[in-house]
Chain A
């Protein structure tokens, strides 16, 4: 089975803050990681390959340094990697990103399964997986936690708000994968060494031949109009002292607010 895993390099978002004076992001020194949910997509692909053979290709769209994330994925066991990068792709929202990634998947050719993490932790949109699937004209299931090969189709268990559903889906198809699916295996030393030296082709505008109106900023229907710091509560009350006294005071104040 030929599987493509789409990964995103993201800042470790717990560590990004905003300067409340300037409304600028403080990203200096914030490490970049593979989006955690994409690790689950990668592990799902590796397990399918272990059981059924085939090839796992990781692709990532981003700036040139996203190559690092691809090398990490190779060290965990992916067979090949392709970077999708071009200045002309910059500023893409999820619409333009979905279009661009779909061109790369088409260029890879014979693909049975395209996997994504359920969402990326920097934007949290969860839009690119279903978007790419539509551009590829393949069916998509979101929030997958398990997959089984049953002849020509796949049997997929997906998480819902209050339980799960089991689906039968034709190949080729796209799945977005949740954290509960698995945990990414450790990289092996041998693969780590190989990953360092691996050739990672970079596909840009010339390789993908996109419709210029559908990429980058121009191809993005949504625009960021402003960015600001989340509001802070002003009239908070801090209680300290002995537990019994604090709680007595708290209960009284909650009653004054008519919430207890």
Chain B
């Protein structure tokens, strides 16, 4: 039985590669552990976790619980939830953080019910109340119109999911030391109720909004699907990914892979250029932590200007091509 309390990060892996959000959670975990005095740990269910531990140490994990089993090679909700819940029952961590990925958003609510824990989804800010010993979990609600701080005063662990790109990655060093703790879970008693037949990665998803340094996004103001060309042209000049508002995706102007917002992707580029996006709160929730936001809109009262660093009031059909032209000229 460990004497220090622990903060865990679920170390999600796919095909033997740790998800980027795990390093972001560990980075935030370092700060929370400094405040709380808890020990930062990672929980790694996989077929063979030993080789994945070093990078987790490098991002601040002092301890990695590896749960190795051929059944844990790929994500399967029944096996993963049993493994993580059993470890939680035994080790009793104070806090468990998960990436709000398609995996984390299945696993965390299942485990929450299994271990009788509170769970807060899609937190955008975490803090620790030292006096009360509570994790302060802040998240947008009502499509981002309000922010709410959630606490979980009586139940442990306190669990939260956090989307990618909400926290910045901070590596401690390239050669941190840590302790691998192998943990065995007997999964033979878990009935096999679902089987993955196929896993397909689609080529269309090369638009990697998550990793993009620059994003140019189009909204309803673009006018019609053909007009997205000027958005693409500017993006290509800037080396940017192309984003879109929910309205344009719903209208079928562009594929949903491009959607930025509460129900799309959360992004955090160096520069976000919003073209003809009014700034419905649900869009703002997906991009307002970008370093610099440039808004181009003809309506000076558009809410997008509330979050913009630079607002350009005018016709995007004139401004966007001009932006592209001057960038091209600067490169020449």
Using a CB–CB cutoff of 8 Å, the interface residues on chain A facing chain B are 11, 13-14, 16-18, 25, 93-95, 98-99, 119, 121-131, 133-135, 138-143, 155, 158-170, 173, 179-180, 220-230, 232-233, 235-240, 243-244, 246-248, 250-251, 253-254, 257, 259-260
Contact = CB atoms under 8 A, between A and B. Distances in A.
B221 interface: no
Nearest to A221: B118
B102 A95 contact: no
B151 A165 contact: no
A237 B311 contact: yes
Interface size class of B (residues with CB under 8 A): 35 or more
Contacts of B284: 230
Given A121-B263, A233-B306, A130 B142 contact: no
Contact of A14 (B146, B256, B281, B319): B281
B77 A139 contact: yes
A9 B311 CA distance: 37
Contacts of B110: 130-131, 133-134, 140
Interface in B305-322: 305-315, 318-319, 322
Interface in B197-216: 197-202, 205
Nearest to B141: A123
A10 to B, nearest CB: 9
15 contacts: A13-B142, A14-B282, A95-B119, A122-B143, A131-B112, A139-B78, A140-B110, A160-B199, A173-B194, A221-B154, A222-B120, A227-B147, A229-B146, A239-B312, A243-B318
B132 to A, nearest CB: 10
Given A134-B81, A222-B119, A230-B147, 16 more contacts: A14-B280, A98-B113, A121-B143, A121-B262, A127-B121, A130-B106, A131-B113, A134-B114, A167-B196, A180-B256, A221-B154, A223-B153, A235-B309, A239-B311, A239-B313, A247-B323
Residue of A155, A159, A228 with most chain B CB atoms under a 10 A cut-off:
A228
A162 B205 contact: yes
B60 to A, nearest CB: 25
Contact of B147 (A17, A138, A229, A248): A229
Nearest to B255: A180
Given A139-B77, A221-B152, A131 B109 contact: yes
Contacts of B185: none
Contacts of A232: 306-307
Given A141-B194, A224-B148, A240-B313, A247 B121 contact: no
B291 interface: yes
Contacts of A14: 143, 280-282
B312 A95 contact: no
A8 to B, nearest CB: 13
Contact of A250 (B114, B205, B262, B323): B323
A125 B112 CA distance: 13
Given A246-B314, A254-B292, A126 B112 contact: no
